[in-house]
Amino acid sequence: MASLLDGILRAVGRAAADALASSLKQRASRADSTTRPPAPTAPPAPRRQGATTPAPTGRGAGISAYDVASAGLPSFDYAPNPDGDADPGEVVWTWVPYEEDATQGKDRPVLVLARSRDRLIVTQMTSKDHDRDAAQQARHGRYWFDVGSGAWDPRGRPSEVRLDRLLAVDPSAIRREGATMSRGTFDAVVAALREHWA
């Protein structure tokens, strides 16, 4: 019995020593990487949906702020059409730049509000509930409007649209079609936009 116990203790001791040595080797490797350039690696794995990404280039780079102050609100037109093209009243996905750094952004859902010349006028959406931090958001000039849940969110989470920031998007920058927003909800968003910009 004692020899069995001795054997187990020796095996556990070896495993612990191996784990410690491996941990120390990893730490040393990380410390080394700060003083010498990293070795070439394989291309990065595709980013998960919603992750911060650099601005797209070429096709799909056509997104800019829509200046309501100088252009006025667009002519809103509820016209969803399941033809594969993004139409007013549809929720689609595109890359949206951050306000703080337009070279960075992420893929997110947007509600198509109108067409203006060769651009789609959209407002970004989020499933983050801003009701709890509405005062803080307002201090930063951000205003949100609840639109409820819909087929655009596979988890069925309630969504909000942003009222203070509209974007002009080249149709080629649209990644995929999400869903159609109901006419009543679309009209409520339009009313909220008109009130916000009055």
- Nearest Cα to Cα of residue 111 among 137, 130, 134, 93: 93
Q: Is residue 171 part of a domain?
A: yes
pLDDT at site 143:
92
Query: What pLDDT score does 133 carry?
Result: 72
Mean pLDDT of all residues in 84-111 = 91
Nearest partner of 190 among 161, 151, 167, judged by Cα: 161
Give the model's pLDDT for residue 5. Answer: 52
Highest mean pLDDT of the ranges 12-21, 120-129, 186-195: 186-195
Looking at the predicted structure, is the pLDDT value of residue 50 above 90? Answer: no
Q: How confident is the model at residue 172 (pLDDT cuts 50, 70, 90)?
A: very high
Is 41 part of a structural domain of the chain? no
CA distances from 172 to 22, 63, 76, 168 (A): 50, 10, 21, 12
- Has residue 11 got a pLDDT over 80? no
Read off the pLDDT of residues 110-119 as tens digits, 9 standing for 90 and up.
999 999 989 9
pLDDT of residue 8: 57
Q: What share of the chain has pLDDT > 90, as a percent?
A: 50
Task: Clarify whether residues 28 and 110 are in a common domain.
Answer: no
Same domain, 87 and 173: yes
Where in the sequence is the domain holding 162, given as residue range(s)?
Answer: 53-197
Indicate the number of domains in the chain: 2
Do 25 and 65 have their domain in common? no
Tell me what the pLDDT averaged over the chain comes to. Answer: 78
In contact, 52 and 104? CB cutoff 8 Å: yes
CATH code of residue 98:
2.30.30.110
Summarize the confidence of residues 126-134 as an average pLDDT.
Answer: 78
